Structure 1
Amino acid sequence: MTAFLIFTGLILLLLTGIPIFAALGLTATVILLIFEGGIGSVADTVYAHLNKPILTTIPLFVFMAQVMMRAKVIDDLYEMAHTLIGHIRGGLGVATVMACTIFAAISGSSVATALSVGSSAIPQMQRYGYPRRQALGVVAAGGTLGILIPPSGPMILYSIVSEASVGALFLAGIVPGLLLALIFAGYSIVSATLRGGDRPAFAGMPKILRAIRNSIWALMAPPVVMGGIYLGIFTAAEAAAAGSVYALLVAVLVYRNFGLKDLWDCAYSSMRTSMMVFMIIAGAAMFGHAITIIRLPVGVTEMVAEIGLGPLGFMLMVMAMIFVMGMFFESIAIILITTPILLPTMNALEIDLVWYGVLLMINLELAMITPPVGMNLFVIKGITDASLTEVVRGAFPYVLLMLFGLVLLLMMPGLATWLPYSAGFGR
């Protein structure tokens, strides 16, 4: 009964539009006042959660993405993808997925990926006769890869709450992320082949080589960040710093369109985003501490043991619950509400936290393109004159494809765990 009242109150607060950190903090405060008679333990709890070196990755990765976007790297990126494979059947869709995949590895944000790639790709696709609904759908779905392909903001948050290795999570997201990109690209080719119609002419090798040369600096960004982690050259925090320095060097020395005002704007935007995230982490720390005081996570573990759910049954139940939550709440809220409650049960069932983290990211990707609160749906609607219904119908096939990818990863955990554990990250 206590758990029901807590979640009802928290959900009602979130539905009023109150910020996530405030809803979590207020709920925790009420719980602590009722069960402890005060909030004296809050300061130490919040400090312990914010006093972590891994948090430096958040402003650094945000800054890296801001610099690369302001330098207009995405324009060369999409032009390269379009020039390279735009002539094959469904090539425009494949090029869009390719651009989303690479940009996701730069920005770490689904919304930024959908917005940046969509602004360039949708007009191009429509100009070459690509069906409008499919153009909207492929950008909305391709943009979600920003959550899964590292560096990923939600992955960092999950790492902080669960204490799973962020380096292992980053590496674990690569294979499933590329697999989803291949599934999206395959669907684009198959649907275009069934549809028929004209194809753009082959661009020719000189133009292809020129496009690759122009985009080489964008293509090098993911290897700089992830290659260093995989090879053990630097930690995730050091990788974020290296990525930021790389982005600045490219913007200033290569593109030469980045001045002091741009630097100030990027730093200011990064500061605002990071402070918002830190406030949410503080609220989540309070909430996690409060539900631990009332032994709610222990109660969930005991309930699962009584029901007799095994690891797979428990995971299916959790994935279904998060899928439904994703229709109404944003990704950060889902991570910070569910993880502290589920963590003891996952540990008791010996569920790999890195594997679960990747499954969670895919489920959160689904949340980005499922109504009524699918952020990418509204982003695509905002940059086009399409109705929300049209965007939803365009994204629907990709919801089914992502569900297929989720089931595949449930059945084959090695798709996520092979790379990080082969790189030396322990279980």
Structure 2
Amino acid sequence: MVITFLVLLAVLMLVGTPIFIALAGSVTVAMGSFSHIPLAIVAERLFAGLDKFPLMAIPFFILTGSLMSAGGLSQRIIRLANLLVGRFTGGMGMTAVSASMFFGAISGSSPATVVSVGSLLYPAMRKEGYSGQFSIGVLVSAGSLGIIIPPSVVMIVYAAVTGVSVGALFMAGVGAGLLYAACLLPYCWYRAKKDGVTPVEPPSWGEVLAGFKDASWGLGVPLVVLGGIYLGIFTPTEAAAVSVIYALLVSALIYREKSFAELFQSMIEAATTTAQVMIILAAASVLAWFLSSNGLAAMLANAILSLSENPYHIFLLINVTVLIAGMFLDASSIMVILAPLFYTVGMRVGIDPVHLGAVLTVNGAIGMFTPPFGLNLFVAGTINGVDYVQAVRGALPFIGIALFALILLTYIPAISMWLPNMVYGG
């Protein structure tokens, strides 16, 4: 049965079958052919995979990002980022990284960050003299910050399948995201020097303050969400619901750049995105149950531990496995399928589950722009003048930079753990 499942899963994915069909369909066929267990269990596991309270936060955070993007926040964030770092050599590339951090703190989505920031910055970077490959490369790589910087949908999924504190994970995401962004910035400076791009005139303090004032309402979203969680005012799910109300009020009553009909359309788009995420999570939970019920999860855990029980070696195996999986699966699916396995292994060798969550999230972020199936590479095709091949070529140098950041994060736990330890007392 297991061999049939693995072969069918590989075939379905190779022929381009949607991931949720490949995952749930291969389990269903294998069980129907070789097991006496009623197939109704598949439907039960589909619903059980979504019957987790932390997952309720996902549609709210997706809607918040959609409302703020439609309400005119993207332009304000990019203008503020450019005012802060545009004066430096490579400033436009640094603006892409900084803007992705700001927008990621609102949307929690990597593809949404690429589209929102890239559609505005890519033409501007080309006009400034940056090469097309570098311009799209920095956008698809920096866009992956959307799932690292809190609030992160991927971290919520990890919390749902492992029981780890969402608040602690969000704290760890701050250090991980800052490290990731810091590793990208020097390369932006180097490429601007190499391409002969000259920095722009620095803005006045008045312009910087005006930029902060213009973007302040939108930047209040992460303050409301994270502040409310860490002050104990509400849970992460309640924080997500509050963020929707805040985003709607800011978009409709303060920025007022879109009509109510256009804001309603952003709600429809958010619902579509939520459905896409949830159906993958449901199908992945079927696979996780299948692996567990057939003893494959325990067998894989024991196989890993038989190679070594050294945490450094285990982390190397985890990173290699997830990086390969990230070439074919999205980060949320990876969390549902692999996180329970690696959580078990990690606990047995003394790896902190919060640190593990941060490392897995960064792995998933790298997978978002790793060929052949990195989602950001395909999303980049929606930006005018960009195709898949150009996006892949542009992303290659940034994959190496991101791997360097991953190594630092993995083997220097203090980078991600200093904030959780400070707030939660270790």
Please report the TM-score for the alignment, with normalisation by the length of structure 2: 0.92
**How far did 1:140 drift?**
1.5
Separation of aligned partners in 2, 1:377 and 1:192: 23
Separation of aligned partners in 1, 2:353 and 2:424: 16
Match of 2:16 in 1: 17
CA contact (8 A) 1:96 1:139 kept: yes
- What do residues 201-222 of structure 1 show as CA deviations (whole Å, max 9, x unaligned)? 2232333222222111122222
CA distance change for structure 1 residues 11 and 163 in 2, over 3 Å: closer, same or farther?
A: farther
- What do residues 237-268 of structure 1 show as CA deviations (whole Å, max 9, x unaligned)? 11101211110111122112343323432332
- What do residues 124-145 of structure 1 show as CA deviations (whole Å, max 9, x unaligned)? 1222223333222211211111
Separation of aligned partners in 2, 1:200 and 1:50: 49
CA distance change for structure 1 residues 51 and 366 in 2, over 3 Å: closer, same or farther?
A: closer
Separation of aligned partners in 2, 1:340 and 1:39: 24
**How far did 1:64 drift?**
0.4
* 1:336 lines up with 2:340 in the alignment: no
CA contact (8 A) 2:285 2:337 kept: no
CA contact (8 A) 1:301 1:348 kept: no
**How far did 1:43 drift?**
5.5
Q: Secondary structure at the match of 2:213?
A: helix
Higher mean C-alpha displacement, 26-35 vs 294-303: 26-35
Q: Secondary structure at the match of 2:292?
A: helix
Higher mean C-alpha displacement, 233-242 vs 350-359: 350-359
- What do residues 349-384 of structure 1 show as CA deviations (whole Å, max 9, x unaligned)? 333222222111211222122222222223334313
**How far did 1:411 drift?**
0.9
Separation of aligned partners in 2, 1:186 and 1:227: 31
CA distance change for structure 1 residues 305 and 265 in 2, over 3 Å: closer, same or farther?
A: same
Separation of aligned partners in 2, 1:41 and 1:332: 23
Match of 2:145 in 1: 145
- What do residues 315-351 of structure 1 show as CA deviations (whole Å, max 9, x unaligned)? 2112112212222333333333323444433333333
**How far did 1:417 drift?**
2.3
**How far did 1:78 drift?**
0.7
Q: AA paired with 1:140?
A: V
CA distance change for structure 1 residues 304 and 224 in 2, over 3 Å: closer, same or farther?
A: same
Q: AA paired with 1:11?
A: A
CA contact (8 A) 2:49 2:286 kept: no
**How far did 1:200 drift?**
1.7
Q: Which runs of 5+ in 1 are unaligned?
A: none
The 5 Å alignment of 1:117-156 reads 117-156=117-156
- What do residues 386-419 of structure 1 show as CA deviations (whole Å, max 9, x unaligned)? 4544333322221111101111011112222232
Separation of aligned partners in 2, 1:301 and 1:18: 29
Q: Secondary structure at the match of 1:201?
A: coil
Q: Secondary structure at the match of 2:351?
A: coil
Please report the TM-score for the alignment, with normalisation by the length of structure 1: 0.91
Match of 1:166 in 2: 166
Separation of aligned partners in 2, 1:40 and 1:131: 54
Identical-pair percentage: 35
- What do residues 217-240 of structure 1 show as CA deviations (whole Å, max 9, x unaligned)? 122222121122222222111110
Q: Secondary structure at the match of 1:423?
A: helix
The 5 Å alignment of 1:291-306 reads 291-306=291-306
**How far did 1:81 drift?**
1.6
Q: Which runs of 5+ in 2 are unaligned?
A: none
CA distance change for structure 1 residues 27 and 161 in 2, over 3 Å: closer, same or farther?
A: farther
The 5 Å alignment of 1:84-103 reads 84-103=84-103
How many pairs are equivalent?
Answer: 425
Higher mean C-alpha displacement, 285-294 vs 41-50: 41-50
The CA RMSD measured in Å over matched residues stands at 2.3
CA contact (8 A) 2:67 2:267 kept: no
Q: Secondary structure at the match of 2:424?
A: coil
Q: Secondary structure at the match of 2:112?
A: helix
* 1:255 lines up with 2:260 in the alignment: no
Match of 1:69 in 2: 69
Separation of aligned partners in 2, 1:419 and 1:322: 25
Q: AA paired with 1:376?
A: N
Separation of aligned partners in 2, 1:292 and 1:360: 20
